[in-house]
A and B are shown apart, each in its own frame.
Chain A
Amino acid sequence: MDFTFTKKEEKFRSELRGWLEQNLPEGWLKGNRKLPEDSKLYSQFLRDWQRSLYEGGWAAIAWPKEYGGRDATLIEEIVYHQEMVRVQSPPLINYIGIHMVAPTLMQMGTVTQKEEFIEKILTGEQVWSQGYSEPSAGSDLSAIQTTAVKKDDKWVINGQKVWTSFAHVADRCFLLTKTEKSEGKHDGITVFLLDMNQPGVETVPIVQMDGHQEFNEVYLTDAIATDADVVGEVGKGWKVLIALMLHERSGIAAQVFTLEQQFNRVVEMAKAVQVCGVSLIEDPFVEDGLADLYTRINGAKLNYYRNITHTLKNGKPGPESSLDKLLVSELTKELFDFAMTIQGHAGVLMAEEALFDSDMQAQYLASFGATIGGGTSEVQRNTIGERILGLPKDLGR
Chain B
Amino acid sequence: MDFALNEEQELFRTAIRKYMTDLGKTDIARSVIDGKLEVVTRVTAGFAEMGISAIPISEEQDGLGLGALDLVPVFEETGRVLLPGIQLETIALAVPLINNYGTQVQKSNLLSKVAIGESTISVAWYEQNRGLTPKSFSTIAGKTTSGYAVTGTKTLVAVLGNPDFFITGAQTAEGKSLFLIKASDVASRKILSSIDETQQIAQLTFDQAPAELLGELGEATQMLDDALLHFNAALCSSMVGGMDELVHTTTEYAKIRVQFNQPIGRFQAVKHGIVNMKLDLETARSLSYYAAWAVENDTADKQTAVHSARSFISKAYIKAAADSIQLHGGIGFTEELDVQLYLKRARYYENYFGSVRDSRKKTAHSLGWHTKSTKQTPVPVF
Cβ–Cβ contact B1 & A309, under 8 A: yes
Cβ–Cβ contact B4 & A306, under 8 A: yes
Cβ–Cβ contact B363 & A385, under 8 A: no
Chain B residue numbers with a CB within 8 Å of A16 are none
Chain A residue numbers with a CB within 8 Å of B255 are 390-392
Cα-based distance from A296 to B316 in the complex (angstroms): 11
Taking a contact as CB atoms closer than 8 A, the residue among B251, B267, B370, B373 that contacts A272 in the complex is B373
Taking a contact as CB atoms closer than 8 A, the residue among B254, B275, B293 that contacts A3 in the complex is B293
Minimum Cβ distance to chain A for residue B128 (Å): 26
Contacts known (A1-B6, A3-B293, A303-B286); A75 close to B1, Cβ less than 8 A: yes
Minimum Cβ distance to chain B for residue A81 (Å): 12
Minimum Cβ distance to chain A for residue B380 (Å): 7
Query: Secondary structure at chain B's binding surface: helix, strand, loop or mixed?
Result: helix
Cβ–Cβ contact B378 & A31, under 8 A: yes
Q: Is A267 an interface residue (CB 8 A)?
A: yes
Cβ–Cβ contact A381 & B275, under 8 A: yes
A1-33 interface (Cβ within 8 A of B): 1-5, 29-31
Taking a contact as CB atoms closer than 8 A, the residue among B1, B369, B379 that contacts A29 in the complex is B379
Cβ–Cβ contact A271 & B369, under 8 A: yes
Q: Is A310 an interface residue (CB 8 A)?
A: yes
Chain B residue numbers with a CB within 8 Å of A268 are 373, 376
Q: Which listed segment binds B: A152-160, A169-177, A181-189, A286-294?
A: A286-294
Most buried by A among B3, B289, B380: B3
Contacts known (A302-B287, A303-B286, A394-B266); A1 close to B251, Cβ less than 8 A: no
Cα-based distance from A308 to B286 in the complex (angstroms): 12
Interface size on A, residues (CB 8 A): 60
Query: Secondary structure at chain A's binding surface: helix, strand, loop or mixed?
Result: helix
Chain A residue numbers with a CB within 8 Å of B286 are 299, 302-303, 305-306
Cβ–Cβ contact B376 & A78, under 8 A: no
Cα-based distance from A309 to B357 in the complex (angstroms): 32
What per-residue 1/0 map shows which CB atoms of B177-211 lie under 8 Å from chain A? 00000000000000000000000000000000000
Contacts known (A261-B380, A296-B312, A308-B1); A378 close to B282, Cβ less than 8 A: no
Cβ–Cβ contact B360 & A287, under 8 A: yes
CB closest residue in chain A, given B287 = A299
Chain B residue numbers with a CB within 8 Å of A82 are 382
Contacts known (A294-B367, A385-B275); A391 close to B251, Cβ less than 8 A: yes
Contacts known (A1-B6, A287-B364, A390-B255); A305 close to B1, Cβ less than 8 A: yes
Minimum Cβ distance to chain A for residue B378 (Å): 4
Cβ–Cβ contact A327 & B293, under 8 A: no
17 extra interface residue pairs, beta carbon distance < 8 Å, beyond A4-B1, A305-B286: A1-B289, A31-B379, A75-B1, A281-B364, A281-B369, A291-B308, A291-B363, A291-B364, A294-B367, A298-B308, A299-B287, A302-B283, A309-B1, A323-B279, A385-B265, A385-B272, A392-B265
B residues whose Cβ falls under 8 Å from a Cβ of A = 1-6, 69, 247, 251, 254-255, 262-263, 265-268, 271-272, 274-276, 278-279, 282-287, 289-290, 293, 308-309, 311-312, 357, 359-361, 363-364, 367, 369-370, 373, 376, 378-382
16 contacts between A and B (CB under 8 A): A29-B379, A31-B379, A268-B376, A295-B360, A298-B287, A299-B286, A302-B283, A305-B1, A306-B289, A327-B283, A381-B268, A381-B275, A382-B271, A384-B275, A389-B274, A390-B251
